[in-house]
Amino acid sequence: MLNKYARAFFTRVLTPFAAFLIRRGVSPDTVTLIGTAGVVAGALVFYPRGEFFWGTVVITLFVFSDLVDGNMARQLGRSSRWGAFLDSTLDRVADGAIFGGFALWYAGQGDDNVLCAVSIFCLASGQVVSYTKARGESIGLPVAVNGLVERAERLVISLVAAGFAGLHTFGVPGIQWLLPIALWIVAVGSLVTLIQRVVTVRRESAEAEAAARQSTSEAAQ
């Protein structure tokens, strides 16, 4: 849902900025690299120190590069397999940095091994969820399911919760619990999404093999 509606809205908003960058000779790949570097820096510099508000501000500023680079490529008419590959690969790097930052906080000053483990699970499951779809498509299956929690949902839930949880350092009481709640939601949602995709691939694989057997049988007759 977020991928469908939020992307459409922000694409319209960011189109003039993308056009401005094109006029300045900036390439989409450069925007992708800078955006990922900014997200990684924001996550691994601020989050392990418990500075969730400022870390989220920095990450949010750079995470929009994921929309800007694609917008630039479309305006230039240069959409390519390389650009899609680079964008998808660096998305995984950025996601890993965000949940890695949470894990480092809970493994250190946050002093909560359970939430550290949940953060690591969010990191790993997010990567596997993406892999299942890519792998299914690579063997010729449509993988016609999105799932409960995709990348957009994982980022919005985690970053919004982290940003608000960071207001605890400004004296807002009790709000720090938003981040643990969000991590549990993302963990459970990612597990459900993984199961949905695995079940879908199994069903589509069985259907494809049955269709292939039927075609072979008909050809033999």
Active site residues: 91
- State how far the Cα of 12 lies from the Cα of 194, in Å rounded to an integer: 31
- CA angle in degrees (0–180, nearest 5) for 132-137-142: 105
Please name the residues in contact with 203: beta carbons below 8 A apart, sequence gap of 6 or more: none
CB neighbours of 38 closer than 8 A, spacing ≥ 6? 58, 59, 61, 62, 65
Q: What is the DSSP string of 22-41?
A: HHTT--HHHHHHHHHHHHHH
Q: Which two tokens stand for residue 53?
A: 């508000």
CA dist 160 and 179 (Å) reads 9
Element (H, E) at 147: none
- Radius of gyration in angstroms for the set of CA atoms belonging to the chain, rounded to a whole number: 20
Residue type, 152: A
Q: Please give the C-alpha separations between residue 155 and each of 91, 192, 207, in angstroms, as whole numbers.
A: 11, 17, 34
